[in-house]
C-alpha cells in the first residue's frame, strides 16, 4: 500500500466499555443516542459495515459490508483527546493524566500570574460556553484571564480577542505549558478566544489552539517519518502530537473545512499517511449535548463519503475511527464518555472482514505500519497480518 487516509471522527463512541462506571459513565452510547435523531441518515456508513460491528444494536446490518470492521477498546487509563490519539498512534498510557476537579493549586496559578502579569478568574471546572458569560464582563474590566478546566486533563484559558489578541493568548498558553509539566503535566493547555457581546452574549471564535504534552515514546508518526514517508496532518493532529513525526500540516475551522482539505490532499501524489481529525462532533455537539446537531454532522460526513471513496487509488486505504465517546444524550456530565470506538477500513486491496473486538486502539497504528511496510514498535497488533 502507498497511502493511508486515517480519519478520526472525534468522540464517535459506539457503546460503554466494561469499566465505564469507574470513569463516571453509566449506560452511555454515542451512536445509539444520535441514531435516535430524525436527522441521522448514514447509508454509506451502513454499506461499509458500521452497524455490523460487535455490540452495535442500532441500524440495519449490511449483508455484504464493503469494509473491514472492528470494535476497539481503549486500554489507556483515560477518555480524553490526547490519550486517545496517542493510543491510536500506538502508545498506551497506563496512568491517567492529572485532572483538577477542585481547580489548580495556588502555586501553579501564582507562577502563571507572575510570568504573564495577569490575574486569574474562575479556576474550577466549567462549561466553556457558560464560563465566558459568567466571567467575560469581569475579564474585560480587570484584564484577568479566565482559567478553567473540565473532567479532562486540560488547563483552558479564555480571553476576549479585543483585549488579548489570539497570538498573545497563545503566548500565555505556551507559558502555562512550560509550567504544567511533571506532577501537573495536563494533557492539553487550550486557548479559548472569544468576542462579543454578540446579541447580548459572548461567543467563542474559531481561533482555538491546543498545546499538548509530547508523547512519552515514539508513535507511528515517528516511525513513518523515519522511514521517509510523508505524514500529513489535518485539523488538530498537529497540536495533539506537538508536530512530532509530522511532515506537513494544515489547521481547519471545523468539519466542513477538514473534509474539504482531505479531499483536496487526496489528489496529491505522496506515500505515507494523511491523519485527519474532525473535531465538531466533540466540540460543537457532544459537549453541548446536542443530539440533533451531532446527527446532522454525521449525516453531512456520510454525504461526502462517496466523493472520498471515489478518490481512492490502487494502493490506497481509507480508515475511520474515533478517540473516545461524548454521548450527547448523557446528562450526568458534559464530559467525554468511556466508550468503545469503531474501526472501518476500505480500499481496493482490503478484504471485507469482521475483526471482532480488539484490546486496544493501538491496533490501528500496527495496521497502518503493516499496510505501508514500515517497521516500528507499537502497543498493538496488525489486523491484516500482511
User: What is the value of pTM for the model shown?
Assistant: 0.91
Residue 85 sits in the same domain as residue 122 = no
Question: What Å distances lie between residue 246 and 7, 192, 241, 254, 279, CA to CA?
Answer: 16, 24, 8, 20, 19
Residue 155 sits in the same domain as residue 78 = no
* Domain contains 384: no
* Domain contains 340: yes
Residue 233 sits in the same domain as residue 365 = yes
CATH number at residue 115: 3.30.70.1250
Helix (H) or strand (E) holding 28: none
CA nearest to 386, candidates 351, 354, 358? 351
| 16 half-sphere exposure, CB direction, 13 A CA radius | 15
What is the percent of the chain where pLDDT is above 70? 99
Residue 75 sits in the same domain as residue 148 = no
Q: What count of other Cβ atoms lies within 10 Å of the Cβ of residue 331?
A: 8
Residue 119 sits in the same domain as residue 208 = yes
Pairing of strands 120-125, 354-358: unpaired
Beta carbons of 51 and 64 less than 8 angstroms apart:
no
Tens-place pLDDT, residues 114-160:
999 999 999 999 999 999 999 999 999 999 999 999 988 999 999 99
Cell of 100: 483538577
| 40 half-sphere exposure, CB direction, 13 A CA radius | 17
- Listed in sequence order, the residues at least 6 apart from 224 whose beta carbon sits closer than 8 Å to its beta carbon are 230, 231, 245, 272, 273, 368, 369, 372, 374, 376
Residue 206 sits in the same domain as residue 232 = no
Count how many domains the chain has: 2
Tens-place pLDDT, residues 295-341:
999 999 999 999 999 999 999 999 999 999 999 999 999 899 999 99
Reply yes or no on whether the pLDDT at 96 is more than 70.
yes
Residue 172 sits in the same domain as residue 194 = yes
Tens-place pLDDT, residues 195-218:
999 999 999 998 999 999 999 999
Output the pLDDT for position 386. Answer: 44
Residue 366 sits in the same domain as residue 222 = yes
Domain termination site, one of 158, 181, 212: 212
Residue 252 sits in the same domain as residue 329 = yes
* Domain contains 379: no
Residue 226 sits in the same domain as residue 356 = yes
Tens-place pLDDT, residues 214-226:
999 999 999 999 9
Look up the domain containing 246 and give its range.
Answer: 3-95+213-372
CATH number at residue 270: 3.40.720.10
Output the pLDDT for position 67. Answer: 98
Residue 194 sits in the same domain as residue 229 = no
DSSP state of 339: B
Domain termination site, one of 212, 236, 270: 212
Cell of 81: 483527546
Residue 226 sits in the same domain as residue 336 = yes
Burial class (CB in 10 A: 0-12, 13-18, 19+), 176: buried
Amino acid at each position: 500500500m502507498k497511502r493511508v487516509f486515517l480519519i478520526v471522527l472525534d468522540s464517535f463512541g459506539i457503546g460503554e466499555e466494561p469499566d465505564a462506571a469507574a470513569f463516571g459513565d453509566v449506560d452511555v452510547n454515542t451512536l445509539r443516542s444520535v441514531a435516535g435523531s430524525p436527522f441521522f441518515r448514514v447509508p454509506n456508513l451502513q454499506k461499509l459495515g458500521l452497524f455490523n460491528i460487535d455490540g452495535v444494536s442500532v441500524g440495519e446490518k449490511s449483508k455484504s459490508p464493503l469494509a473491514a470492521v472492528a470494535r476497539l477498546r481503549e486500554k489507556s487509563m483515560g477518555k480524553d483527546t490526547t490519550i486517545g490519539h496517542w493510543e491510536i498512534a500506538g502508545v498506551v498510557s497506563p496512568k491517567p493524566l492529572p485532572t483538577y476537579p477542585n481547580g489548580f493549586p495556588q502555586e501553579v496559578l501564582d507562577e502563571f500570574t507572575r510570568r504573564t502579569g495577569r490575574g486569574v478568574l474562575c479556576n474550577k471546572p466549567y462549561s466553556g460556553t457558560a464560563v465566558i458569560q459568567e466571567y467575560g464582563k469581569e475579564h474585560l474590566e480587570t484584564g484577568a484571564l479566565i482559567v478553567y478546566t473540565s473532567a479532562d486533563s486540560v488547563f483552558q484559558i479564555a480571553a476576549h480577542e479585543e483585549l488579548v489578541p489570539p497570538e498573545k493568548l497563545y503566548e500565555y498558553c505556551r507559558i502555562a505549558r512550560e509550567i504544567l509539566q511533571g506532577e501537573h503535566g495536563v494533557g492539553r493547555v487550550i486557548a479559548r478566544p472569544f468576542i462579543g457581546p454578540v446579541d447580548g452574549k459572548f461567543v467563542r471564535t474559531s481561533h482555538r489552539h491546543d498545546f499538548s504534552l509530547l508523547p512519552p515514546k515514539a508513535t507511528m508518526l515517528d516511525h513513518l517519518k523515519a522511514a521517509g514517508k510523508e505524514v500529513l496532518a489535518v485539523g488538530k493532529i498537529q497540536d495533539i502530537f506537538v508536530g512530532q513525526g509530522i511532515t506537513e500540516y494544515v489547521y481547519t475551522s471545523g468539519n466542513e473545512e477538514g473534509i474539504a482539505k482531505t479531499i483536496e490532499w487526496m489528489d496529491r501524489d505522496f506515500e505515507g499517511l494523511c491523519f485527519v481529525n474532525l473535531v465538531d462532533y466533540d466540540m460543537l455537539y457532544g459537549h453541548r449535548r446536542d443530539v440533533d446537531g451531532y446527527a446532522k454532522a454525521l449525516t453531512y460526513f456520510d454525504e461526502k463519503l462517496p466523493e472520498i471513496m471515489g478518490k481512492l487509488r490502487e494502493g490506497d486505504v481509507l480508515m475511520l475511527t474515533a478517540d473516545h465517546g461524548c454521548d450527547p444524550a448523557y446528562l450526568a456530565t458534559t464530559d467525554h464518555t468511556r466508550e468503545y470506538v469503531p474501526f472501518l477500513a476500505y480500499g481496493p486491496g482490503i478484504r471485507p472482514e469482521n475483526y471482532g473486538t480488539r484490546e486496544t486502539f493501538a491496533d490501528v497504528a500496527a495496521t497502518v505500519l503493516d499496510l505501508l511496510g514500515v517497521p516500528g514498535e507499537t502497543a498493538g497488533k496488525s489486523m491484516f497480518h500482511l
